[in-house]
Amino acid sequence: MEQSPETRSALGEKPTRNDISGASNRFFEEPICRNCGEPLRDKYCHVCGQKKAQRLNSSHLRDEVWEKLRWFEADMAKSAFRVVTKPGAVAREYVLGQRKSHTHPLKLLLAAIVVLLLVIAQVDYLGSQDERLSKAVALVQSWSKWSFSLGILAILVASNIAFWARQGFNFIEHLVLATYAHFVIIVANTINLSPLLLDSTAEIVKSHRFYTGYYMPFVEIGIVFFAFGQFFAIDWRQQWWWPAIGAGLFYLSKEGLFYLYARAVIRIVIAQLS
């Protein structure tokens, strides 16, 4: 005699395709985990952790997708805001074990880079009216895809030189600090470019590039200064010069790295244009 779907579920046997189609909604109403087959004690399986399954329909699928996106965006935005206000403190908490409370630093950084690239493309920040120059700029852009990593490298160099022996942080933990701090620098540069989304004529963009060179280095130095102080738990009244030294080393390292990188890119572009 053929057993009913309910009997097979009670015995821990996996349902067949006919069981699912025949049982309809009753199949999903049974207190059985449809992922591992264990009896359910509440809404979640105590063995595999899956939530009690419901029969899929358009509204259910829409709600699931929206819930996932909503919580992802909310968590990302909340974590990003905390990092922007306290990059060093978040990095310190992360390396000391509070991983679930914060978004992975690399995930935040990649998201910030994508947004910055979209803004740069939208305002045509590196564009030119000269056809030959435009070709050169296009080549520079293609060879400069890894230039965003130079800021991280500069922070990493500065933190290791100035704070290597402080509190016993290792290289990877310094890298976490550098990634979070560079995320804030990318956000600051994106905000700096955002007014051009309203008006990005050639003259305005040229003027913006000119003035940016005067104040953005100080903004970036300030971000690194506070990030170092927060991460290494600096007593601001008695030891403020340590993050100041670190920020100065960051500036020198970044200028040196960009100089070397620019020379290498220029040589490659000239060779391709000739």
Residues 36 and 118 in one domain: no
Residues 46 and 149 in one domain: no
**Reported confidence tier of residue 179, pLDDT bands at 50, 70, 90:** very high
Q: For 259-271, how does the pLDDT look when each residue is reduced to its tens digit (9 = 90+)?
A: 888 787 777 767 7
pLDDT of residue 1: 47
Query: Average pLDDT of 107-116?
Result: 87
pLDDT of residue 145: 55
pLDDT of residue 57: 62
Q: Which has the closest alpha carbon to 179: 77, 73, 102?
A: 102
- Min mean pLDDT across 29-43, 59-73, 98-112 is at 59-73
- Enter the DSSP assignment of 14: P
User: What average pLDDT is seen over the chain?
Assistant: 79
Which of the pair, 274 or 122, is modelled with greater confidence?
122
Residues 49 and 170 in one domain: no
Rounded to an integer, what distance in angstroms lies between the CA atom of residue 270 and that of residue 274? 6
Residues 35 and 140 in one domain: no
pLDDT over threshold 70, residue 218: yes
pLDDT over threshold 80, residue 24: no
Whole-number CA gyration radius for the chain: 27
pLDDT of residue 18: 47
pLDDT of residue 17: 45
Residues 36 and 131 in one domain: no
Residues 161 and 219 in one domain: yes
Which of the pair, 34 or 241, is modelled with greater confidence?
241
Residues 72 and 51 in one domain: no
Report yes or no on 60 lying in a domain.
no
Q: How many domains would you assign to the chain? A: 2
Residues 20 and 144 in one domain: no
Report yes or no on 63 lying in a domain.
no
Measured distance between the N- and C-terminal CA atoms of the chain, rounded to whole angstroms: 85
Residues 148 and 197 in one domain: yes
pLDDT over threshold 60, residue 216: yes
* % pLDDT > 90, the chain: 34
Which of the pair, 182 or 210, is modelled with greater confidence?
182
Residues 50 and 93 in one domain: no
Whether residue 178 contacts residue 266, with contact meaning beta carbons closer than 8 Å, is answered with: no
pLDDT of residue 125: 60
Residues 116 and 21 in one domain: no
| pTM listed for this prediction | 0.70
- Min mean pLDDT across 69-73, 78-82, 124-128, 190-194 is at 69-73
Report yes or no on 62 lying in a domain.
no
Q: For 64-109, how does the pLDDT look when each residue is reduced to its tens digit (9 = 90+)?
A: 655 554 545 667 788 889 999 999 999 999 999 888 888 889 888 8
Q: Locate tokens 């296009």: which residue?
A: 138
Residues 6+ apart with CB under 8 A from 61: none
Report yes or no on 80 lying in a domain.
yes
Domain that holds residue 49: 5-55
